[in-house]
A and B are shown apart, each in its own frame.
Chain A
Amino acid sequence: MNRKKLIGNIVRYALYAVVAAFFIWAISNSYFDYIFSQSGTFLVLLRQHIVLVLVSSLLAILIAVPAGILITRPKFKRAEWIVSNIANLGQTIPSLAVLALMISFLGIGFQTAVFALFIYSILPIFRNTVAGIDSIDKNMIDAAKGMGMKPHQILFRIELPNSAYSILAGIRTAVVLNIGTAALAYVVGAGGLGVWIFTGINLFDNGFLISGAIPVTLLAIVADFILRRVEYAVVPKGSRRIEKA
């Protein structure tokens, strides 16, 4: 146990050192300068990026969570594997290809990027919703039924609270993935921090590259942190420990 802890600590501090070294190197080469010298543009790109992620993630949540709930109802249970496989298939198409495909239908711009990101976020949320609800002890549902709970009462009082952890974890995964993938929105002309990243790649300009990439990374870390907080607040106290065990 102590050895494990020691190795864990060494790895952790080594990582911190690498990150620190990277920032020292980047700052000493003034690679972050664009953020300050062109702060107007930066804020526009950042806003575009956040809007892309927010809109596509919200749409995905609005579709995938109800779909997951619906498919776990006894009536639709039989269709579960078909729908799951379709959702899985969606995930296997490379994100760049999804974007390219969407251009032919929706043209270029914001709506294309949002749609591609939305398609891409559905699976993790859907899959975790289904898994969360399926993992609930059948005896518990039986007890609820036997006590005279109506189906919607079972859903809202038993199933959703007890699968909240899994559903929110799916949403978190989707959002964090989404923030990274949204950098590709540049390709369809939807802006976002991808604009600077691709400019950096095209011009061999580390300054643009890093001024675009590092904020994307930080955005993902911040989103992860916030969503973990939300999880902690939303998941009922009694179910929390069970998920960890």
Chain B
Amino acid sequence: MISFNHVTKKFGENITAIDDVDFTVEEGKIVVLLGPSGCGKTTLLRMVNRLESITEGEIIINGENSKDMDPIELRRKIGYVIQSNGLFPNMTIEENVMIVPDLLGWSKKDKRERFEYLMKLSGLDAKDYGKRYPHELSGGQQQRIGVVRALAADPPVMLMDEPFGALDPIIREKIQDEFLQIQREVKKTILFVSHDIDEAIKMADKIVLLRDGKIMQFDTPSEMLAHPKQEFVSQFFGKDRAIKGLSLHTVENLREVIGLGPVDDSVQDTKTINVHQDLRNTLSMLLNQEADQVIVKDDAGENIGTITIDLVQKYLHFEIKGKVSASQEG
């Protein structure tokens, strides 16, 4: 758990980079710091492992005030991933990944076992890649190594500064999925910096939207999209925020709320999608007019119904408007 208690950072007398920031990253959750460039998100992240100093307030990490800890000890307990992976070209992949365990003085055997486990997580072969050097790997592979390196000493807390920002969109999405898969297994408390709205929606349990060092809104992605509290928030997420929000919902969610349409066996031109597909992709597919009928299949491959644009719209209405009227009544 990371708690920010009225954290402020000033450069000199007049420039306030971080202004009275107060929020908590719950144990095992991902909080994404989101905002335009220059909003202070990276500065805030770097204050956690004391690469930046704190002017006022305090940051409590798993019950300990970061100010009271030795910065070197503190950093070794926190995984740190940066955009340009930061792998050291003079070391092999194994040496790179094992840096923190090495600093902590682990035995050779422990390091070996840990390395093999981490490489299994990363999906790269330990034997094949261990002895290679970073420049012999592709950008995506390097970033995977950058992520597992941060996990090396099994730190409870991780800081990730636009870790996937330098990758091309296709690889980025793949690595995001892989990372969420890893997170389900390791359950770290993660603070994640991003300027990419889609990434934030996808990765975050909660989003902190920052502007000029101030928190504009701290909420779950779906709340933030459906109920922006300020003009800036809705502007930032854009007019298409309803569409963006659809990526948080799956066909399964829709089925549970309003049900699917019946399958018409007479229609020849059909396509099928999985019930766990998100609604944003589903809607794109429907809009592309790829087929006359889109059939939803469950995990067993059974047809369980059809989906149409009308159904998606109905669901949206129910989800957004329904909740608004409910909250107004409440």
Contacts and interface: CB of A to CB of B under 8 A. Distances in A.
Interface of A: 137, 139-140, 142-150, 153, 157-158, 161-162, 236-239, 241-242
Contact of B89 (A139, A145, A153, A162): A162
B82 A161 contact: no
Contacts of B90: 158, 161-162, 236, 238-239
B186 interface: no
A241 B84 CA distance: 19
Chain A CB within 10 A, most for which of B83, B86, B90, B99:
B90
Contact of A242 (B51, B85, B135): B135
Nearest to B93: A238
A213 to B, nearest CB: 41
A147 B80 contact: yes
Contact of A147 (B76, B83, B91, B92): B76
Interface in B180-201: none
A150 B88 contact: no
B51 A145 contact: yes
Interface in B279-324: none
Contacts, number: 74
A144 B76 CA distance: 10
23 contacts: A139-B83, A139-B84, A142-B51, A145-B51, A145-B75, A146-B46, A146-B78, A146-B80, A146-B82, A147-B75, A147-B103, A148-B72, A148-B73, A148-B74, A148-B75, A148-B100, A149-B99, A149-B103, A157-B88, A236-B89, A238-B89, A238-B92, A241-B135
A162 B103 contact: no
Interface of B: 46, 49, 51, 72-78, 80, 82-92, 99-100, 103, 133-135, 149, 159
Contacts of B72: 148, 150
Nearest to A150: B72
A238 B91 contact: yes
A153 B133 contact: no
A157 B72 CA distance: 16
B245 to A, nearest CB: 34
A148 B103 contact: yes
Given A142-B82, A143-B82, A158 B88 contact: yes
B135 A238 contact: yes
Contact of B80 (A137, A143, A236, A241): A143
Contacts of A237: 133
B86 A153 contact: no
B88 A144 contact: yes
Contacts of A140: 86-88
